[in-house]
Amino acid sequence: MTNGCDLELINLTKKYGDALAVDRINAHFKAGQYVCLLGPSGCGKSSTLRMIAGHEDVTDGSIVLDGFDVSYLPPAKRGTAMMFQNYALFPHLSVRDNAAFSLRMKGQDKATRYAVADELLEMVDMSALADRLPSQLSGGQQQRVALARALVTKPKVLLLDEPLSALDPFLRVRMRTELKKLQRELGITFIHVTHGQDEALALGDELVVMNNAVIEQSGPARDVWSTPKTEFVARFMGGHNVITFEGEKAALRADDVRFGAEGLPATITSIEYQGAHFALNTRTQAGEDILALMPDEVFFDTPKKPGDAVSLTWDEGRLHRLQT
Ligand code: ADP
Ligand code: MG
């Protein structure tokens, strides 16, 4: 089931005065995908999302939704909806009235707007608390109400700006499962901004990695993680070593590094137990740090300690060159 529609960003640009926050980015998101927009703080994620939502003027370029240029339409006319970082629920309105708020603004009668609001509160499992005020809810419950409120206008694209960052780690993981399930049920496009690579990998069908106002790399989550194109993406996504090989920078997955009889000589600098894995930091004679991640039973076969000399090996073809 697909209720969404294609979204295209064409040379989309945002300047605040002279400061370039988003620099001619291009992207095409197919209908019904869970897209995660990630990158370090200040790289232009929120500006991009707010332009798509219509909460920020486009400086240059355009936003095309379902074949129509929506760049200059007011937010309510775009077919998008946004869920904010700090939920921004109205404290004096009940859960039901919060959820129905946009429909009241559109002048719909009470019976109609409550019917739609109740349907969405049911979907996010908040029906039982429909008469409560936001202050009587937990963080996770407020989150669900904010979701219902954003979805009440039946958007084709839901925009979420760091929706899980205010939650404690346990709840964050639970809520991300719920978000993914909801997106599947609705079949609409979600564009979810996060600065966490774990969250992006857990949720995203497509990842868009931004850095310094541009898109460094985008594509299916697995491609971005397993084949980073640049040193920035390799380091930001984690799990990779960036090493100098034959005079060029190359990426090597930490879980592809093994200790062999012969290979690149290195010394173990530290060892960290991570449950299922051991993380072994090593330093080569050239002074490069290389991380090896190995399953606990492999580690216990031939236990190592800091200061031990090792030879680092990996299978042919596992090292891939990075663009400079
Ligand atoms: P992110 O969400 O990735 O952290 P933002 O899109 O919020 O990044 O910000 C991108 C850049 O634009 C930053 O340098 C930020 O300081 C700047 N910026 C964001 N909003 C404004 C604003 N309203 N006025 C001026 N500069 C802004
Ligand atoms: Mg932001």
- Pair (48, 183) in one structural domain: yes
Mean pLDDT of 40-67: 96
User: Residue 284 forms beta bridges with which residues?
Assistant: 266
- The residue among 194, 204, 153 whose CA lies nearest residue 172 is 194
Which tens digit of pLDDT belongs to each residue from 274-324? Answer: 999 999 999 999 999 999 999 999 999 999 999 999 999 999 899 999 997
pLDDT digits (tens, 9 = 90+) for 142-153: 989 999 999 998
pLDDT for 86? 61
Q: Residue 188: is its pLDDT beyond 70?
A: yes
Query: Do both 188 and 271 map to the same domain?
Result: no
| Structure confidence at residue 1 (pLDDT) | 43
Rg (C-alpha) for the chain, rounded Å, is 23
Neighbours of ion ligand 2 (CB under 5 A): 46
* Composition of the chain by helix, strand, coil, percent to 5: 30, 35, 35
Find out whether the beta carbon of 45 lies less than 6 Å from any atom of ligand 1: yes
Q: What is the DSSP letter of 134?
A: G
Closest ligand to the CA of 25:
1
Q: Does 191 fall in a domain?
A: yes
Q: Give the residue, 196 or 217, on which the prediction is more confident.
A: 217
What does the block give as tokens for 298? 């492999």
Residue 236 inside a domain? The answer is: no
Say if CB 48 and CB 25 are below 8 A apart. Answer: yes
Q: Do 150 and 286 belong together in one domain?
A: no
Mean pLDDT, rounded, for 113-139 = 94
User: Of 61, 103, 80, 99, nearest to 4 (Cα)?
Assistant: 80
Is residue 234, in this structure, part of any structural domain at all?
Answer: no
Three-state DSSP at 122 gives helix
222 and 97 both lie in a single domain: yes
Nearest ligand to the C-alpha atom of residue 161: 2
For ligand 1, whether the C-beta of 220 sits within 6 Å is no
Cα distances (Å, whole numbers) of residue 187 to 100, 110, 155, 190: 21, 27, 11, 9
If asked whether residues 48 and 193 sit together in one domain, one would say: yes
For the chain, percent of residues with pLDDT exceeding 90: 84
State yes or no: pLDDT of 207 exceeds 70.
yes
Give per-residue pLDDT as tens, 248-280: 999 999 999 999 999 999 999 999 999 999 999
Residue nearest to atom 11 of ligand 1 (CA): 21
Residue 251: per-residue pLDDT: 96
Backbone CA torsion sign across 102, 107, 108, 113: positive
Q: Same domain for 213 and 254?
A: no
- 189 & 299 share domain: no
| CATH code of the domain containing 314 | 2.40.50.140
Question: Is residue 256 included in any domain, yes or no?
Answer: yes
16: Cβ below 6 Å to ligand 1?
yes
Domain of residue 170, CATH code: 3.40.50.300
- How far apart are the C-alpha atoms of 232 and 209, rounded to whole Å? 10
Distance of alpha carbon 50 from alpha carbon 226, whole angstroms: 30
177, 197, 226 — which closes off a domain? 226
For residue 235, pLDDT beyond 60 = yes
In a domain, 159, yes or no: yes
Number of structural domains (the chain) is 2
Q: What is the mean pLDDT of residues 59-80?
A: 95
Boundaries of domain holding 98: 7-226
3-class DSSP assignment, residue 14: strand
DSSP letter (8 states) at residue 323: B
| Same domain? 164 vs 197 | yes
* Domain identity same for 23 and 101: yes
Indicate whether 206 and 248 sit together in one domain: no
Report the separation in Å between the CA atom of 47 and the middle of ligand 1, taken as the mean of its atom positions: 6
Quick check: 173 pLDDT over 50? Answer: yes
- Among 226, 255, 279, the domain-final residue is 226
Considering the domain architecture, whether residues 62 and 156 belong to the same structural domain is answered as yes
Closest by CA to 41, choosing from 196, 191, 175, 168, is 196
The answer on 252 and 216 residing in a single domain is: no
Average pLDDT over residues 224-236: 95
pTM value? 0.91
Residue 233 falls within a domain, yes or no? no
Q: What is the pLDDT of residue 171?
A: 86
DSSP 41: T
Contact 95, 126 (CB under 8 A): yes
The pLDDT of residue 3: 60
Task: Give the C-alpha distances (Å, rounded to integers) separating 301 from 271, 296, 298, 311.
Answer: 15, 9, 5, 16
Residue 43: the pLDDT is 97
69 lies in some domain = yes
The reply to whether 1 falls in a domain is no
Mean pLDDT, rounded, of the chain: 93
Residues 6+ apart with CB under 8 A from 129: 95, 136, 137, 141
How far does CA 211 lie from the centroid of its chain? 14
Final residue belonging to a domain, choices 172, 200, 226: 226
Please indicate whether residue 18, judged by its CB atom, sits closer than 6 Å to ligand 1: no
Q: How far is CA 236 from CA 88, 147, 227, in A?
A: 30, 29, 13
